[in-house]
C-alpha cells in the first residue's frame, strides 16, 4: 500500500504532509505549494477533450439554468455558475495529492466548468469521477475516504468526519445526488500563516455512488464579500472582515469559520445553494 497523505493539514506549527512514495519528516512548504498549484492547474496531457452538450434542440435552456450531458455524468448547471462544461479522460494527479512524482492517478473523468462565475482563483472549477476500487488502491488515505463515504450518516452540526482530513472547514453539509451521496464544505489549503481569502477558498465535495462503484469529487471556487482578495496580509480588509491575527492563528481561523457558518447561502458567489443544486442533480453514468 502506498504511503498516504493527510490533506488540508493545518496545525499550530503549520505543516503539510506531502503525498509521495516515501514519507518525509519535515517537508518544504514552499516546494509543496508550488507542486500543488502545478498539479491542480496542469493542462491535461492525455486523451481528447469531449465537449459537453448544453442547450441543444433537444436540451433547451430553462429559466433557471442549462442541462449538461457528458458520457460519464449529467447534471443541471444553474444560471450564474458557468456557461457550459468540457469532459475528458485523464490520469492527472488531482487534489488532495500535491506531488506528481507520486505517480499517475487512476484513469478518471474530469468535467471542467467553462466561463465560471469566478476567475483568477487557485482551483479549477471541476468535477472528477473515479472508479472507487481503483481510487482506494491509490493510497491508504483514499481507501479511508471511500470507506467513510460508504457508511456516511452525517447530520448537520456535527464536525467533519476525521477520515476526510480537513483542519479548516466551514458550511459542512451532506448533499445527495441522484444516484449517490456525499458531503461538502468550504475550505482552503494554506501556504503559510495567511488570511482566509477569496483567491483560495473553495467548495469541496466528496461523494460515492449508491452502488459503491464510483467516487466523485468537486473543487469549485467560491467567494464572499468580507474576505480579502488574496493571501497577502497587507491586502485591505473589506467591511465586516475578520482582522488577520498571526499571533493567534487558530483563534483567527475559528473566528473566520464561525462567520462563514453564519453567512446566508445567497451571500456567496456563486450562491452556495446553486452549487448544492448542481451537485444534487448529478447522475453518474461511469465509464
Write down the pLDDT at residue 100.
Answer: 64
- Band (pLDDT 50/70/90 cuts) for residue 228 is very high
Is 113:77 a contact under the CB 8 Å cutoff? yes
d(CA 194, CA 232): 7
Is 247:255 a contact under the CB 8 Å cutoff? no
- Band (pLDDT 50/70/90 cuts) for residue 104 is very high
User: Which residues does 130 contact at the CB level (< 8 Å), separation at least 6?
Assistant: 105, 106, 108, 214, 215, 216, 217
Q: What is the pLDDT of residues 5-29, one digit of tens each?
A: 333 343 333 333 333 343 334 444 4
Torsion of CA 128, 130, 135, 141, to 10 degrees: 30
Is 226:238 a contact under the CB 8 Å cutoff? yes
Q: What is the pLDDT of residues 118-138, one digit of tens each?
A: 999 999 999 999 999 999 999
User: Which residues does 56 contact at the CB level (< 8 Å), separation at least 6?
Assistant: none
Amino acid at each position: 500500500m502506498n504511503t498516504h497523505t493527510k490533506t488540508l493539514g493545518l496545525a499550530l506549527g503549520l505543516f503539510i504532509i506531502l503525498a509521495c512514495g516515501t514519507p518525509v519528516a519535515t517537508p518544504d512548504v514552499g516546494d509543496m505549494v508550488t507542486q500543488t498549484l502545478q498539479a491542480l492547474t496542469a493542462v491535461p496531457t492525455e486523451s481528447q477533450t469531449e465537449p459537453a452538450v448544453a442547450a441543444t434542440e433537444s436540451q433547451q435552456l430553462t429559466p433557471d439554468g442549462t442541462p449538461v450531458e457528458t458520457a460519464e455524468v449529467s447534471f443541471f448547471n444553474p444560471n450564474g455558475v458557468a456557461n457550459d462544461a468540457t469532459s475528458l479522460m485523464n490520469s492527472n494527479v488531482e487534489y488532495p495529492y500535491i506531488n506528481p512524482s507520486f505517480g499517475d492517478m487512476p484513469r478518471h473523468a474530469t468535467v471542467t466548468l467553462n466561463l465560471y462565475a469566478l476567475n483568477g482563483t487557485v482551483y479549477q472549477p471541476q468535477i472528477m469521477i473515479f472508479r472507487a476500487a481503483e481510487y482506494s488502491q491509490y493510497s491508504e488515505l483514499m481507501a479511508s475516504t471511500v470507506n467513510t463515504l460508504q457508511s456516511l450518516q452525517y447530520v448537520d452540526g456535527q464536525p467533519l468526519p476525521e477520515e476526510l482530513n480537513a483542519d479548516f472547514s466551514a458550511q459542512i453539509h451532506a448533499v445527495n445526488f441522484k444516484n449517490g451521496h456525499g458531503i461538502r464544505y468550504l475550505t482552503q489549503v494554506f501556504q503559510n500563516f495567511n488570511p482566509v481569502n477569496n483567491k483560495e477558498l473553495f467548495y469541496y465535495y466528496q461523494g460515492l455512488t449508491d452502488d459503491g462503484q464510483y467516487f466523485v469529487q468537486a473543487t469549485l471556487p467560491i467567494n464572499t464579500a468580507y474576505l480579502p482578495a488574496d493571501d497577502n496580509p497587507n491586502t485591505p480588509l473589506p467591511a465586516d472582515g475578520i482582522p488577520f491575527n498571526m499571533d493567534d492563528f487558530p483563534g483567527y481561523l475559528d473566528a473566520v469559520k464561525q462567520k462563514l457558518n453564519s453567512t446566508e447561502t445567497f451571500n456567496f458567489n456563486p450562491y452556495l445553494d446553486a452549487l448544492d443544486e448542481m451537485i444534487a442533480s448529478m447522475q453518474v453514468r461511469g465509464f
